[in-house]
Every structure is written in structure tokens, then in C-alpha cells.
Amino acid sequence: MTIKNLESIKTLLNEAQRLVDSYADTPLDCSNLKLHVFLYELTEEIAILNRLLELDADNFAEHFKNRCFERARVNEDSQLSFYEDLYGACNNLYWEMAEVLFGEQELGERLSILLPEKMIVIEPEFYLPEPVKPNSQRLKVKFHEKKVTDLNALAKREELANFVIYRSFLIDLREIASLDFHLHKTFYRELKRNYPTLVANLYQHNTSFSMLLIQLQIADGVAQSPKEAISSLVEGLITNGKSITGQTYATIGAERAFTDFLNYLKALPEEFKEEVLALTGTDDEVLSEVIDDLTQGRCVEIASGRLISILENSNNKAVLNAYPHLTSEQREALYRQYRKNSLPTMHGETWLNAALPVYYVKQLLPFIEINHSSDYINLLRTVPPSLYAALLQETIINKYPLPSKLAREIKNGLLDDEQKHAFYQAVWANKEKLGSVDDLLRFAVLSDSEELFSEVLKSVEPENRLKVLTCENAFYEAVSSPRLIQVALQLLPKSEYLLAMATPHEWSALYRAVDYPDSLEIMVQNLPEKDRFEVITTTFDEISLLHLAANQFSSRSLEILLQALPEEKRLPAIREKKTQGGNLLSRVSDNASALQVVLQALPEQLKDEGRVKLFLSIERIISNIENKSAGRWISGIGSKKTKLLRTIQDQLLENDGKSHDMSFFLKETMAICQIKRNPLHFWSTPKSVDEFSILAKEHGWQLEEDEVQLGISR
């Protein structure tokens, strides 16, 4: 090495060391792990290169090549690679040192030094399958694989920004930037078939290529509907008041989901895009305003709620479910766009799944302290999943090892499937460090982890599992997840399960399951058939499971409970009165869907339309009496009249009630309505008489003349 080159190399190393020294007062914490990984690598490389320089300066160029190979191997597909961090400090050091050592080079020569061995350049070739008049719609594409040394352009760093690099493959996007739309379709189809691993990287290279992918999907009729796109955005956003930008964190998944949605909007045909942006929620929130709020970094949780409101607004159904399509004019405009314009090929900001290099992260883990859920969140977003076990083992965890907030964030989408699997395995591998069985089980429930929930429960002796599940109300909390309920039932002894279900109490999982029909169905179907009637009709706090479903107008839960009963037990369950206010049919009389469920459960001989209408008419009169409706001065709850009217309702639901015809029930009902509360009010007509007469007229019932004589009081 010449003296001039030696001095230049030393100068580059000294400049790099000054950069490291400028961060000397920046302590390592969970929020700046990425920065310290960059600094750690730079510090280590400076030390190694200085040592190589001291030991054998004459052969430093060869040692440098070997070090490039080793470094490229460690950083492959990571955030420190040349592709992901082209102008990063350590990559900058190596590029400039290569310029000093080897002078002017072709790009292929330079890359053969700086990148891993056996790099392959993918080069597309478009051709006509037969000698016909050239037409881009008839062209086909095939790919040639070339050595990286065949790249003969001058080695400039900005050249590399035009390439997509993944593993050992490179593709120069300038080769396809000027294609017309038909050729882009051909290229995309063949790339997906021949090099599927390159597709995601290529079409996330920059915004223009991301939009191209969506336009290709729209043209082929396979793009998402607005409902699907908004649902994907909601799923990707993190809750609990965090924001997309600013100092508060938002997950990579949230940021990627928002970026993808913006690209989706930009790619839509203009008129359709305006319709989508004008979608409103149930409280008049407008989609365009929600997007503006997210762009400005406002609360993700609020935005998610507003997006859900837009999805649930029935007035939006037509637009939400429409798939974007191109008119002939719009399709021609798209073709013109790609005939006239080339795509930019420089590498832009992307959301690829590049992680920090495992080697450097492992060196830093023992020096990190975890104090809050936000520390966990920052680390899980930064550390490769393969290191999650080491993360929990090596770091210093203070206060709460498994905070509830972390569990909720995981449930809401903090981690993707690969990360979740790795994290739950890491939790189980470090269970002694992270807490008791109760702590682990609660975390599994709050994060909705079937995997961890199963592992924890299996570790408990079968006879103790119910005790563990109920100790911290884990079973109660698990009801919101049918998957967890299914696991619990598979692992609980049958006798233990029946004991838990047959004993209603304040924290009864079965009672909570009324709000979660999928879980309720699993729980009820696992009850022995002989015990179902007792469990479903037993009261707690003066209400049974069946009546609780009726009170909450949960039609599906009501249907599940009734269908779970043996057929001969359904009518007794419907007729049974658990609290003041009538039987099950009375409770659902004001809810059409719940009423239909109960009517369907009646025996065939009791489904007579007239009898049902009379039952419901009596229920309306009882309700008016008890609620002081129609000008009544006092409530008639528990009065003789309401009790007698309930008796008529019971008779209408008796299996032998068919022995009485409608005229009997009409006459009996009117006779009860004519009862006076106070015989001193001889001049007044009971309100219930007028009400029943009106109802009879509405339903076409003929009342005998003496049945509608005026009474003397209510």
C-alpha cells in the first residue's frame, strides 16, 4: 500500500472514530437500541480494521476483502446491509475505503468486494414468441442470470439505489422503468412465477412501484374493495392512544398499514376515490378527515374507532363493497400514463421486514433494563424474533415482568404471526424469571394466545387446573376468545368443568359468555345433556342464564341456549318465571329477532299465530299497567289484574291449551281487563278495557257485546 493510501485509510478511520465519540454521552436504553447497534458495529469495525492495518499494512487490501465478505454475511438482509442503509456510517466507511484501495472500478467489481459471494444479476428479456408484427400485448419475458461482475457501469454509490437486492439476487429497475402497462403486467406475472421472493422487495422499492402493483391488481380485477382496504388499515393500527408520527410509538405494522392504504387511495380511479374519501361514519365522521388526522400524527385509537364507525354505517354498503374497476376511458388513460412516463427507480422509504443483525443485538442485550411496557414494545419492534428468548433471558427486567398493557398491545396487532410465535415460546422458555403460573396464564388470556394458554395449563396437574383458571378469574376473562375456551375445555376434567358451569356466581364464565355467543356455544355443547336444563335455568341474583340472554336481547345466545335443551325441556324453560315480569316469551316481546327465536322453540301445536298474538297483546297491557302508561296514576306491579293476565299467558303456553279455543281466551282476557282497582271509581272505564278492545280490532278478533261493557274502575 502506498503511503498516500495508508494516510487516507487512517483519516477515514479517525473520522469514523470521531463520529462514535460524539455519542459517548448517549446511554443505551430500550428506545435507542438501533442507534447503539449502528455504533457498536462501527466501533468494532474500526478496531478490526486498525488491527489489520497495524499487523499487515502491505496486504491490507486482501484483508479488507476478507473483512467485507464476513461483514456482508453478518449483515445480510438486515438494517445494516448496503441495500437498506446505503449511506449509513459503516457502509460509507467501507465504500470510501474501497475507493482508496482499488481506485476507479466498474460497479460489478465493487459489488463483488462489498457484497456476499456469488451475487446473481437478474436481467429480463422481452421477446415475441413467433415472428409477427410487434405488439407489447404479445411480448413474453424470460430472465437471464448473470454474474455481478458483468455490471460494467462506473462504480458510484447512487447507482446501487436503482437495484433491488434480496439474498443473492440483484435486479436493476432501470431495465423495467420505461415499460408500458401491458409489459409491466407480463413482467409481474413472470417474476412472481420465477423469483417469488423478489416480488415483495421490488414492489416496495418506492412509492411509484407500490402504486404500480395496486394498479396492476385493479386492471386485473383482483384489487381490494374499500371495505377490505379499510379493514386492513384498522387491523394494522395499534390502539391505546398512540400515534403514527411524533414521539409516541406506532408499530411498524401500523405504519405499514397506513402507508399501504394511502397508496391504495392514490391508485384508485379518481371518481371512485372521491366516493371512498366521502364515506361517513354513524357520527358524521368523514374518511378524508380521519386520514388527515392520521397523517398529522393524531391518536390511532380514536382513528380506529372512527374507521370502524364508517365500516358499520349501512349507508356506505354500496361503496364499501364495490371493487374498483376501470372504464375504457380510465384504462386508456392508465396506458397513456405508462407510455409517456418512466417510473423513478431510486430506493425510497419502505416497510420491509429488515431486522437488526443478530450478532450485534446479542452483544448489547445484557446492558438493557426493561422498566415499562413501552420498553418491551420498543425492543420487540427492533429485535429479531430469533433473539426474543435471549431478550427475556439476558435483559434486566424490573417491576412487572409481563405487564397487562403489553398483552393488550400484542392482542391489538403489535406483533405479526412470526413474532408472536417467537415471543410466546420465549416467555415459556423463561417462565421462572417472568412470574407464577397465574401471571403467565393471565398474560396468555389478555394477549389472546392459544399457544401460551395451552402450555401453561398443561403444566398444571389436571385436578388443579380449574382452581388455577378461577383463581385470578382467568376463565372469566378467557370467555372473549372462543379459541381459549376450546383449549380450556379440552384440558379440564369433565367433572371439574361441570362443577364450574353448574355453580352460578358473580364471576361465572357461563354468564359472561352470553355476550360472546361463539364461546357460549362451545361451553354449552360441552355440558352433559342431562345437566343442561338445570345449568341453563338455575338462577343467580334472581336471574337465570336463559333470562339474562333475553334481557340483553342476544338473539344468537338465546337460540344457542334453547337449542341446547332437550326438545321436551324447551317449553318448561320458556314458561318458567324466575323473577317478577313474566316468562321468557314476555321478556322478548319487544325485540323482533329474539321473539322469533323463542317462537321457533315452541312445540308445533303452540305456534298458532292467533295465540301468539294474544300472548303479546296481553304482555303490552301488562307493561302499560306496570309502567303507568296511558294516563294511569300509579303502577300496577304485582296487582291482581296483572297476576291474572299472567295466568292467561301461562294457559296459552300449556300443551293442553288447545282444548280451549280463541273465543275462550278472548273472553277471559276481557273479563280480567274489566276488573276495577277501586270500586268507588264507578264512573271510569278501566284503561285496559279500551286497550284490549283496540288490540282486538287491530288483529281482527270479534269480542262479544257483553265483553266490552263499561266497568266502574281500573
Mean pLDDT is highest, among 34-43, 499-508, 623-632, for 34-43
User: Any idea which residue has 415459556 for its cell?
Assistant: 428
For the chain, the 3-state helix, strand and coil shares in percent, each to the nearest 5, are 65, 5, 30
Q: Which helix (H) or strand (E) holds 543?
A: strand 543-544
pTM of the entire predicted model: 0.71
Distance from C-alpha of 526 to C-alpha of 421, rounded to nearest angstrom: 29
Range with the lowest mean pLDDT among 623-632, 649-658, 705-714?
705-714
DSSP string, 164-186: EEETTEEEEGGGTTT--HHHHHH
Q: Which among 43, 37, 42 has a CA at the least distance from the CA of 91?
A: 42
Average pLDDT over the chain, rounded to whole? Answer: 86
DSSP string, 197-213: HHHHHHTTSSHHHHHHH
Please tell me whether residue 259 adopts helix, strand or coil conformation.
Answer: helix
Per-domain residue ranges of the chain: 3-218, 222-324, 368-492, 618-714
Q: Which whole number is the average pLDDT over 16-23?
A: 96
Q: Specify the pLDDT at position 584.
A: 83
Q: Specify the pLDDT at position 607.
A: 72
User: Any idea which residue has 345449568 for its cell?
Assistant: 535
Contact between 113 and 383 (Cβ < 8 Å): no
Range with the lowest mean pLDDT among 418-427, 478-487, 694-703?
694-703
pLDDT in tens, 176-223: 999 999 999 999 999 999 999 899 889 988 889 999 999 999 999 999
CA atoms within 13 A on the CB side of 293: 19
Q: Which whole number is the average pLDDT over 468-495?
A: 88
Distance from C-alpha of 204 to C-alpha of 384, rounded to nearest angstrom: 21
Distance from C-alpha of 561 to C-alpha of 525, rounded to nearest angstrom: 9
Indicate the pLDDT class of residue 519, thresholds 50, 70 and 90.
Answer: very high
Contact between 235 and 206 (Cβ < 8 Å): no
Contact between 643 and 636 (Cβ < 8 Å): no
Of 168 and 484, the structure prediction assigns the larger pLDDT to 484
Name residues whose C-beta falls within 8 Å of residue 675's C-beta, 6 or more positions apart in sequence. Answer: 640, 641, 644, 686, 711
Q: Which whole number is the average pLDDT over 352-373?
A: 87
The pairing of strands 396-397 and 539-540 is unpaired
Q: Which helix (H) or strand (E) holds 481?
A: none
User: Any idea which residue has 422481452 for its cell?
Assistant: 126
All three cell numbers of 703: 269480542
Range with the lowest mean pLDDT among 203-207, 617-621, 633-637, 668-672?
633-637
Distance from C-alpha of 677 to C-alpha of 713, rounded to nearest angstrom: 6
Q: Which helix (H) or strand (E) holds 237?
A: none
pLDDT in tens, 303-322: 888 998 999 888 999 999 99
Q: Specify the pLDDT at position 230.
A: 92
- First vs last Cα of the chain: how many Å apart? 116
Distance (Å) of CA 631 to CA 18, 678, 686: 89, 16, 11
pLDDT in tens, 242-292: 544 443 445 555 777 888 899 999 999 999 999 999 999 988 889 999 999
pLDDT in tens, 39-91: 999 999 999 999 999 999 999 999 999 999 999 989 988 889 888 888 899 99
Burial degree of 8 (CB within 10 A; 0-12, 13-18, 19+): middle
All three cell numbers of 168: 443473492
All three cell numbers of 627: 309502567
Q: Specify the pLDDT at position 203.
A: 92
pLDDT > 70? residue 134: no
- Give 146's strand partners: 121
